[in-house]
Amino acid sequence: MPPEFVQWLQNAGLATAIRESAIVYPVILSLHLTGMALFGGMILMTDLRLLGIAMTKRPVSEVVEGLRPWKHLGLTLVVTCGFLLAWSKIAIYYPNPFFRLKLGLLTLVTIHALVFRRSVYRNTRELDRSPVIPGRAKLAAALSLVLWIGLVSAGRWIGYWEPKAAAPPTTAQVN
């Protein structure tokens, strides 16, 4: 994207209000993390069940469907807050390689969801009837874990990168 366009995006009223308020940005960031913890926890348990590691005595459908509403709540929270955070400082974030990595992983996560949604996550009754968990479901779960761990890590590393990193970032500047 041309820098002028990125700057223009960031100059929008709402984005400026978020960026310049001493309290709003940290509050949205905290909500982003709350959503992440909720969503991440639900994803982790869903995937561990599909891999046959956690809650194996309960049917797949029960675990996956029982956690789904909370997974969706966490996703909504994390995406909404993430979008606001990114928008409010897009001119700062846009050149950041970890931010770009995170966007890339976000794209892969979306593709993952489209590919496996029908055959795995919305097909839990079928998985219940199968004597062993099919390879496709295990693959979906393993890929999901790798992608989300990568995404969370990339997100955390955004805060440690500085343009033209001549001097090592000191922890005081990191937030």
Partner 1 sequence: MWQSFKWFFEWNDKTWLGQAISGTIWAFPVIETIHILALTMMFGAIVIIDLRMMGFGLKKQPVALLAKNLEPYMTWGMLTMLATGYMLFTSEAMKCFVNDGFKFKMAVLFPAIVFQFTLFRWVTHKDEEKRPMLLGWLVALLSLTLWFGVGIGGRAIGFV
Footprint on this chain of partner 1 (rule: CB under 8 A) = 26, 29-30, 33-34, 36-38, 40-42, 44-45, 54-55, 57-58, 62-63, 66-67, 69-70, 149, 152-153, 156-157, 159-160, 168-169, 171-172, 174-175
Closer to partner 1 by CB, 16 or 153: give it.
Answer: 153
Q: If you count DSSP H runs as helices and E runs as strands, how many of each does the chain have, helices first?
A: 8, 0
Q: Shortest gap between Cβ of 38 and partner 1 (angstroms)?
A: 6
Q: Shortest gap between Cβ of 13 and partner 1 (angstroms)?
A: 24
CA 55 to CA 39: how far, in whole Å? 18
CA 70 to CA 83: how far, in whole Å? 20
Closer to partner 1 by CB, 31 or 115: give it.
Answer: 31
Q: Shortest gap between Cβ of 83 and partner 1 (angstroms)?
A: 19
Q: At residue 55, what are phi and psi to the nearest 5 degrees?
A: 50, 40
Closer to partner 1 by CB, 63 or 140: give it.
Answer: 63
Q: Shortest gap between Cβ of 5 and partner 1 (angstroms)?
A: 30
Q: Are 68 and 118 contacting, i.e. CB atoms less than 8 angstroms apart?
A: no
Q: Shortest gap between Cβ of 68 and partner 1 (angstroms)?
A: 9
CA angle at 99 for the pair 94 and 101, rounded to the nearest 5°: 125
Closer to partner 1 by CB, 7 or 153: give it.
Answer: 153
Closer to partner 1 by CB, 87 or 98: give it.
Answer: 98
CA angle at 150 for the pair 49 and 91, rounded to the nearest 5°: 140
Closer to partner 1 by CB, 3 or 72: give it.
Answer: 72
Contact partners, residue 9, CB within 8 Å, separation at least 6: 15, 87, 90, 91
Q: Shortest gap between Cβ of 22 and partner 1 (angstroms)?
A: 9
CA 136 to CA 128: how far, in whole Å? 14
